């Protein structure tokens, strides 16, 4: 049974930082590219960052230079370090493979106040 469990969200002021974690189980984590996605109220889910099995990374323009995705294959975990947060980063953040293959987890809420 595949499980994707996101954690680390919270309420932070603009300019602050958060580190999100996603623990994956039931998948062959090390052979999958992974992605962090987010969905803001009233908007479609969007890809924020992705990381290949070789740890090559790619970011949405809106977060480039502020967010960093990383992975730990020994822990089947993918991380998203978010710095210089802005109110427009407010969303529920999810992880999944890239491209997404599995049911979405519950996500973790990130709220950035101005």
Q: What is the DSSP string of 26-87?
A: SS-GGGS-EEEEEE-TTS--EEEEEE-TT--EEE-TTTTTTEEEEEEGGGTEEEEEE-S--G
Tokens (6 digits) for 68? 């960093």
At residue 40 the predicted structure's pLDDT band, cuts being 50, 70 and 90, is very high
pLDDT of residue 95: 98
pLDDT of residue 60: 98
pLDDT in tens, 2-36: 999 999 999 999 999 999 999 999 999 999 999 99
2 within 8 A of 29, measured Cβ to Cβ:
no
pLDDT in tens, 54-95: 999 999 999 999 999 999 999 999 999 999 999 999 999 999
């Amino acid at each position: 049974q595949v499980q994707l469990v996101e954690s680390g969200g919270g309420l932070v002021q603009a300019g602050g930082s958060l580190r999100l974690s996603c623990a994956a189980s039931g998948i062959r984590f090390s052979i999958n590219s992974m992605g962090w996605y987010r969905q803001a109220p009233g908007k479609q889910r969007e890809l924020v960052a992705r990381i290949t099995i070789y740890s090559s990374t790619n970011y949405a323009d809106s977060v480039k230079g502020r967010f960093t995705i990383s992975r730990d294959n020994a822990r089947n975990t993918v991380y998203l370090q978010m710095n210089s947060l802005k109110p427009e980063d407010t969303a529920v953040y999810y992880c999944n493979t890239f491209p997404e293959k599995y049911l979405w987890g519950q996500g973790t809420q990130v709220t950035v106040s101005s």
